[in-house]
Chain A
Amino acid sequence: MAITFTGVERRGRVGNRSGAVVRRRAGAYLFLLPALAYLAATMLYPVYSNLRMSVYDVNVGTFLAGNAPFIGLDNYRFLFDDPAFWKALRLSLAFTAGSLAFQFSIGFLLALLFSQPFPGSSFLRSLLLLGWLLPTIVSGSIYRWMLDGDYGVINYALRTIGLIDGTRYWLIDPGTALAGTIIANIWVGIPFNMLLILAGLHQIPPTLYEAASIDGATPWRRFWSITLPLMRPVALSVVLLGLIYTFKVFDLIYVMTRGGPVDATTVLPIYTYQLTFQFFLFGKGAAAATVLLVGLLGVAVAYLWFSRREEVAA
């Protein structure tokens, strides 16, 4: 499960600062300090430490002795010369694109359904959230079973409706393993997409639809001319956030395939994990982690830029 929020709030700063306010401010730090210190130690330090380790030859020997030599950008050169790195990047992009396309469109359809009031709406909607809250190890295991070649219920369903004949070994066949993990990840991600899109739909003033109905616009026409254009900024935010949260998925894939068969599902986070925790190449793992981080930061900056532009336009 990944719980994620978009909460970005910008409020005007309070201007006047009398002596009392300054004293109160000093007290304020006592409220903020514990959390700040904690985040500095567990987030800023790891980011700094990654950057540092990525330019040292930290491996299992030098890690314990603490005398790793400085090697400049050699770790990064190793990555960029490693075909496995490029394959991991390609797999990450495919995993993200495949997951997002379906999570978003299914989430959108469900949000449209739930955007109108009907009996039992909020109860049924909250039931959908369960898929998102289940531990990843649980959902991963369920999908491993459902995607089983010989007895899996998904193969049975596909055979029944005539989409496949015979048996498909989803997670054992390198050609379909990534698709198998994408199917599971779509399932996990649908509620998140639905919730965000639904919030966007609720922000469209109902008067617009009423006016259009009076003018004789059909439901399809109202969707095409009101809902879609007004949802564009929200849709962009949801996709960018989805990009960040899908690109970093590790546990679901690891639980289902361990990155295999061979390296068929070794996406960038799993590639990074293997370098650090299986081969104990801490320096190279840190370089891979830094690449991952820089990519995500790029998307985050794009997200902030778009949401700011939206705010200016609004």
Chain B
Amino acid sequence: MNLLASWRRQGYDRTLLALVAVIVYLFPVYWMVATSIKSPPAIFASPPQVIPEHPTLSAYREAIFDNSAVIRAMRNSAIIAVGTTILTLILAAPAAYALARIRPRGSGLFTLLLLIGQLLPGIVVAGPLFVLFSRIDLINSFPALIIADGTVTLPFAVIVLRPFFLSIPRELESAAMVDGSTRFGAFFRIVLPLIRPGLITVAALSFLIAWGEFIFALSLNLNDNIAPVTVAMNKFVGQYGTEWDKMMAVATTVAIPIVAIFIALQRFIVGGLTTGATKE
């Protein structure tokens, strides 16, 4: 009795409740992985096998390792996601710095642009970008997809980075500039290293967004050789029909980099999402 009371006092009753909520919530993710290692009869078993009997990796072998299309698409996704991450950092860091520190005239307009950027539906941007990229012969290329993905990542990157710059004491740059460094020198050598956590947050989230991006890849590219894995997977929907083990094997493979980055950089990602989402 006493034990139960002290258990509750320490909040373990809430831990239990939260644990149940998390298990229920993440069941679809578990179901994806479980299905991917089931044999076809196990998939169609009734009642469903919550824990796969006789697990097998044959779906992975057939749908991924023996399928050069998926491997190529994964490579394409990596190129697009890394490219978008680099583009985002290069554009967002100086802009966020300018907004935090120097606030030139037009900052308000720029902030408004960022807000509009967050509300623009991909489909509204995709049509005109298709026309624009067709005219300048950029359609069906990695740069086209990277540039398009940047419209999603740049606005949030600036918003996440700005508070990081604000938190650095102005004196540090002043001191560097008194010592003969230019503002650019101070920015690169003094400020950027100090906001590394912010840069990691933005890099991780840009990569996650670009890895999962679908609308632009679907509408701005008709070339299978550069199509990312989201589009490749979308094609399997028709091709695989009810071969759910293969579909889920591909889904799991697409999710693995996301989960890996999430686990490795969890502190940065959760921090970035929380500050970004609550910044008043």
Contact = CB atoms under 8 A, between A and B. Distances in A.
A286 B32 contact: no
Interface in B141-172: 147-148, 150-151, 154-156, 158-160, 162
Contacts of B244: 145, 148, 151
Interface in B88-104: 90-92, 94-95, 97-99, 101-104
A42 B183 contact: no
A120 B234 contact: no
Contacts of A272: 123-124, 127
Nearest to A272: B123
B248 A141 contact: yes
B57 interface: no
A250 B150 contact: no
A195 interface: yes
A18 interface: no
A134 B266 contact: no
Contacts of A43: 113, 116-117, 120, 125, 151
Interface string B58-96: 000000000000000000000000000000001110110
B119 interface: yes
B18 interface: yes
Interface of A is mostly: helix
Contacts, number: 320
Contacts of B111: 8-9
A7 B102 CA distance: 19
Given A116-B11, A130-B26, A250 B215 contact: yes
A36 interface: yes
Nearest to B50: A153
Nearest to B135: A66
B210 to A, nearest CB: 10
A131 interface: yes
Contacts of B46: 151, 156
Interface in B1-28: 10-12, 14-15, 17-19, 21-22, 25-26, 28
A73 interface: no
Interface string A220-243: 000000000000000000000000
A119 B15 contact: yes
A166 interface: no
A144 B19 CA distance: 26
B78 to A, nearest CB: 14
A25 interface: yes
A136 B214 contact: yes
Contact of A143 (B28, B110, B215): B28
Contacts of A142: 28-29, 31-32, 248, 251
Interface of B: 10-12, 14-15, 17-19, 21-22, 25-26, 28-29, 31-32, 35, 43-44, 46-48, 90-92, 94-95, 97-99, 101-107, 110-111, 113-132, 147-148, 150-151, 154-156, 158-160, 162, 183-184, 187, 205, 208-209, 211-212, 214-215, 218-219, 230, 233-234, 237, 242, 244, 247-248, 251, 254-255, 258-259, 262, 266, 269-270, 273-274, 276-280
Given A25-B102, A31-B102, 4 more contacts: A35-B154, A113-B17, A118-B10, A119-B11
8 contacts: A3-B208, A5-B276, A5-B277, A118-B15, A144-B237, A145-B247, A195-B273, A286-B128
